[in-house]
Amino acid sequence: MKALLKTKREEGIWMGEVPMPEVGPNDVLIRVHKSAICGTDVHIYNWDEWAQKTIPVPMVVGHEYFGVIEKVGAEVEGYKPGDRVSGEGHITCGHCRNCRAGKRHLCRNTVGVGVNRTGSFAEYLSIPAFNVFKVPDNVPDDVASIFDPYGNAAHTALSFDMVGEDVLITGAGPIGIMAVAIAKHVGARNVVITDVNEYRLDLARKMGATVAVNPMKKNLTEVMKDLGMTEGFDVGLEMSGNRNAFESMLEAMHHGGRIALLGILPGDCAIDWSQVIFKGLILKGIYGREMFETWYKMAAMVQSGLDITPVITHHYGIDDFQKGFDAMRSGQSGKVILDWGV
């Protein structure tokens, strides 16, 4: 079958032929219809320090997709050929304490599809049936293909009560932009988002941000003043991984504010702890999606009218994958979807 591979320990990604994946008794074989490109795939493409340490070569990469079940293993129940599906990319061990407590997103033995094991930029993908998510009929294929990052946004945004709250999101990448729409959908009052990229700030406005601001041009104190906010933000979602953004968030939080951290801050990122301690802030790290509570909420929010489609800015056929990666690498994009033509 055809697949996008990392075949060389250098910048780039290449189309090649690989054998069909094996389907174990508890696995499901999925015919991939749509692949979306993740920021992680761009790190793998760029072959940065993290990728060099993490990615085995050669390997099929990719983990965001929509497809249809082709075949199920002998022991699989609840799925059948023809089912429309996406899947959770974190494969968990099932026997550690957290897994057994139903907190699979906290499994210390997590293995990532397209990161630690063969991925979904391929005609077919085999994954454990446990990881499969059946897509409701009224959720479009394109939207289902970005359930993985939409799940990062949902897991982060739904960590804290937002009804009537003032929310600050730092980083208007695809995930931050989707978090804007979720925050508005669940009833936040003001949703302010920051980014240094004007293209992405425009997208955030299309997704319903109250204010989308470039911190190089206007600071958060001025934004709060314009909005008549005298006390600070109640909920913060850190989605940039940038230390300056996180610092300005800490300063802009109200006493008792709650912050969910998704962006991967530098390991040595120092912060002003007096902001956390004297304001009594609550900080929560976020990894992946809750299995499968986040997935149910994602489908339900789409069914109850949440529209995340403005985040999808580019579509290409799979043979034009290079154009897709170029668009992602330019920073002038939201989500990029590659179509397998089935």
How many Å apart are CA 93 and CA 276, to the nearest integer?
35
Q: Please tell me whether residue 64 binds ligand NAD under the rule CB under 6 A.
A: no
Smaller CB separation from Zn ion, 99 or 125: 99
Q: Enumerate the active-site residues.
A: 40, 43
**30 and 82 Cβ atoms separated by less than 8 Å:** no
DSSP string, 165-196: --EEEE--SHHHHHHHHHHHHTT-S-EEEE-S
How many Å apart are CA 237 and CA 240, to the nearest integer?
9
Within 95-124, which residues bind Zn ion (CB under 5 A)? 96, 99, 107, 109
Length of the chain: 342
Which residue of this chain has its Cβ atom nearest to ligand NAD in the complex?
Answer: 173
269 a known binding residue?
A: no
Question: Of the ranges 136-144, 165-173, 250-258, 298-306, which one interacts with ligand NAD (CB under 6 A)?
Answer: 165-173
Q: Please tell me whether residue 131 binds Zn ion under the rule CB under 5 A.
A: no
CA 93 vs. chain centroid, Å, equals 22
Question: Of the ranges 9-17, 133-141, 225-233, 241-249, which one interacts with ligand NAD (CB under 6 A)?
Answer: 241-249
Q: How far is the CB of 103 from Zn ion (least distance, A)?
A: 9
Q: Please tell me whether residue 252 binds ligand NAD under the rule CB under 6 A.
A: no
How many Å apart are CA 64 and CA 26, to the nearest integer?
21
Q: How far is the CB of 138 from ligand NAD (least distance, A)?
A: 26
Q: Please tell me whether residue 92 binds Zn ion under the rule CB under 5 A.
A: yes
Q: Please tell me whether residue 176 binds ligand NAD under the rule CB under 6 A.
A: yes
Q: Please tell me whether residue 169 binds Zn ion under the rule CB under 5 A.
A: no
Within 121-160, which residues bind ligand NAD (CB under 6 A)? 152
175 a known binding residue?
A: yes
Query: 16 pairs with which residues across the strands?
Result: 3
Choose the contact partner of 93 out of Zn ion, ligand NAD, none; CB within 5 to 8 A by kind: Zn ion
Choose the contact partner of 200 out of Zn ion, ligand NAD, none; CB within 5 to 8 A by kind: ligand NAD
How many Å apart are CA 45 and CA 184, to the nearest integer?
34
Within 291-330, which residues bind ligand NAD (CB under 6 A)? none
Q: How far is the CB of 149 from ligand NAD (least distance, A)?
A: 6
Alpha-carbon distances, residue 106 vs 50, 97, 294 (angstroms): 21, 9, 14
CA 174 vs. chain centroid, Å, equals 8
286 a known binding residue?
A: yes
Phi, psi angles (nearest 5°) of residue 142: -60, -45
Q: How far is the CB of 156 from ligand NAD (least distance, A)?
A: 8
Q: Please tell me whether residue 172 binds ligand NAD under the rule CB under 6 A.
A: yes
Within 259-288, which residues bind ligand NAD (CB under 6 A)? 262-264, 286-288
Give me 86's structure tokens.
């996406």
Q: Please tell me whether residue 175 binds ligand NAD under the rule CB under 6 A.
A: yes
Beta strands (DSSP E) in the chain are: 2-6, 14-17, 27-36, 59-60, 64-72, 84-87, 90-91, 111-112, 124-128, 132-134, 167-170, 191-194, 211-213, 233-238, 253-261, 282-285, 312-317, 335-339
Burial pattern 25-45, b for ≥16 Cβ within 10 A else e, equals: eebbbbbbbbbbbbebbbbbb
Which residue ranges make up the site for ligand NAD (CB under 6 A)?
39, 152, 170-176, 194-197, 200, 215, 239-242, 244-245, 262-264, 286-288
